[in-house]
Amino acid sequence: MDLKEYQGKDFFRRYGVPTSEGRLARSLEEADEAARALGFPVVVKAQVLVGGRGKAGGVRLASDAAELADAARAILGMDLKGHTVNEVWIEPASQIRHEYYVSLTLDRAARLYLLMVSSKGGVDIEEVARTDPGAIARVHIDPIDGLSGDVIAQAIEQAGIGEGREHMPEVLGALYRAFTEGDADLVEVNPLVVRDDGQLVALDAKVTLDDSAAFRHPEWQAYRADEELDSREAIARARGLNYIGLDGSIGIIANGAGLAMATLDVVQQVGGRAANFLDLGGGAGAETMTAALDVIAGDPKVQALFVNIFGGITRCDDVARGIVAALDSVELRCPMVVRLDGTNAREGHEILKGVVSDRVIVETTMVTAAQRAVEEARRASA
């Protein structure tokens, strides 16, 4: 679950990360009330789950009530990279001496935590990584050892931290607690600023929480209540499906997160674009398959479906029966390409022979199935 800035700052404060104060507003009246309580000048910040808000006009400075009204009126309701802004965060303008970048995430390849620190905060960190990679200190952390003083010192030295250096160990320690104790997949601050009083403060907060740890955090329900889902994701969640909506035309159904991601890659390699990520997990029976087909077939952007199953514990004949049963209750408005491999694949293919048509197509390899799905999508959109 991704958090908006104001939610991320609330999350940070739970673990002692210093953040800028502010108030949330959903109307011009609330924005005016917040600004007067905080005191001018203030910054008005769009609350949406996208980066680059400042460049897109979603962050504005207001020195008085008139400028605040103009800023709030411009930002509330605006379309920001496909997201409608319904909330703004109002916070006092900070006097900044320096800006840093800090993040913690998991380096899956190294099987270690990764701490990144840069003295070039406040700008597009991806651009910094491309043009000046040496400006970003990358330090691995063994989860067993935790964040030691030596690791902190190494990160500070490599990043060339100057201003606010004496406060950096405390802030990094708090961020590490937020990352580990808070069960986050990512915590990122850009910028972490040194104010005129010498204190380090997180002016922004980007947080991704690990949904599988939600049972340990009942406090997350407050974040979930304000979560913005598109209609497809809302339906999928109600059906208990692991689904993420994308912007392509090939609907994807696979069993296992790794296979689902590989399927997205193969579709792109053969010239297509996925409309979603959908992992059936270990359940690919009639009920689960019906739910998956219902969600994806109802997406008007989907021009072809690609069902990619590798049978291990999940048997391909059970999946095939699930597909046949699902087709009795779900009307396909676009072609569906099915690839079965692994346990009982031959039996699965025999079962599917009864439903094969110009709308239900069976292929034997992942690549040929992806190619056929892309061809069908192009034909449908021609």
Domains annotated for the chain, with CATH where assigned, are 21-92 (3.30.1490.20), 96-221 (3.30.470.20), 231-381 (3.40.50.261)
Q: Identify the pLDDT of residue 147.
A: 96
Classify residue 152 as left (phi > 0), alpha (psi -120 to 50) or beta.
alpha
Q: Identify the pLDDT of residue 85.
A: 93
Mean pLDDT of the chain: 90
Q: 3-state SS string over 114-132?
A: EEEEECCCCCCHHHHHHHC
Q: What is the residue type of 115?
A: L
Please determine, for residue 376, whether its predicted confidence score (pLDDT) is greater than 80.
Answer: yes
Q: Identify the pLDDT of residue 329.
A: 84
In this predicted model, which residue has the larger pLDDT, 243 or 264? 264
Q: What is the residue type of 258?
A: G
Least confident of 221-230, 255-264, 357-366: 221-230
Please determine, for residue 300, whether its predicted confidence score (pLDDT) is greater than 90.
Answer: no
29: tokens are 């009246």
Q: How far is CA 254 from CA 237, 264, 284, 319, in A?
A: 17, 10, 9, 11
- What is the average pLDDT across 255-270? 93
In angstroms, rounded to a whole number, what is the distance separating the alpha carbons of residues 137 and 154? 9
In this predicted model, which residue has the larger pLDDT, 380 or 74? 74
Q: Which H or E run contains 211?
A: none
- What is the average pLDDT across 235-240? 72
Q: How confident is the model at residue 228 (pLDDT cuts 50, 70, 90)?
A: low
Q: Identify the pLDDT of residue 123.
A: 67
Please determine, for residue 167, whether its predicted confidence score (pLDDT) is greater than 90.
Answer: yes
Record the pTM.
0.72
Q: Identify the pLDDT of residue 66.
A: 96
Please determine, for residue 293, whether its predicted confidence score (pLDDT) is greater than 70.
Answer: yes
Q: Identify the pLDDT of residue 229.
A: 60
Nearest one of 229, 181, 234 to 209, comparing CA atoms: 181
In angstroms, rounded to a whole number, what is the distance separating the alpha carbons of residues 63 and 54? 17
| pLDDT tens for each residue of 50-75 | 888 888 899 999 999 999 999 999 99
Q: Identify the pLDDT of residue 282.
A: 63
Please determine, for residue 238, whether its predicted confidence score (pLDDT) is greater than 80.
Answer: no
In this predicted model, which residue has the larger pLDDT, 129 or 59? 59
Q: Identify the pLDDT of residue 60.
A: 95
**What are the residue numbers of the active site?**
101, 188
